[in-house]
Amino acid sequence: MRGVLKEFKDFIVRGNVIDLAVAFVLGVAFSAVVSALVKDLVTPIIAAIVGKPDFSALSFTINNSRFLYGDFIDALITFLSVAAAIFFFVVKPINALAAARARGAPSEDPTTKLCSECLSEIPIAASRCAYCGQPQPATD
């Protein structure tokens, strides 16, 4: 029984489980922020442009069956608004930050070179080409 408890403890304190729990909590909190952004800023802008803030009352009837296509339009607008908010306020800034870091990062030393005779890619330390057998100039 002690072995199982130790194994469970090792599983719980493993880094990826803790990281996942933190990411989940932050995701829930971020979801509230994005929902408020869409509800309080994006939806009123759409309502100002279209002139109708709520489409849920839109419907049509066929053979006594009522189709509430307005609810679908509301859900679609909400989805697109949330996706746009996440893209423009999270994804784009993170990508720009990553690109800025990549520009400032030193480039990795190459591990291969091209054969001077046949232009095949060979290890940088090779003294002969593995493909054509030609001797290679020494690299410093």
Q: 96: number of CA atoms within 13 Å, CB side?
A: 7
Choose among 109, 116, 108, 105: nearest CA to 138: 116
pTM for the full model? Answer: 0.47
**What ranges do the domains of the chain cover?**
2-107, 109-140
Architecture of domain 2-107: Orthogonal Bundle (1.10)
DSSP β-bridge partners for residue 23: none
* Per-residue tokens: 46: 């759409």
At 13-46, the pLDDT tens digits run 776 777 788 788 888 888 888 778 777 887 788 7
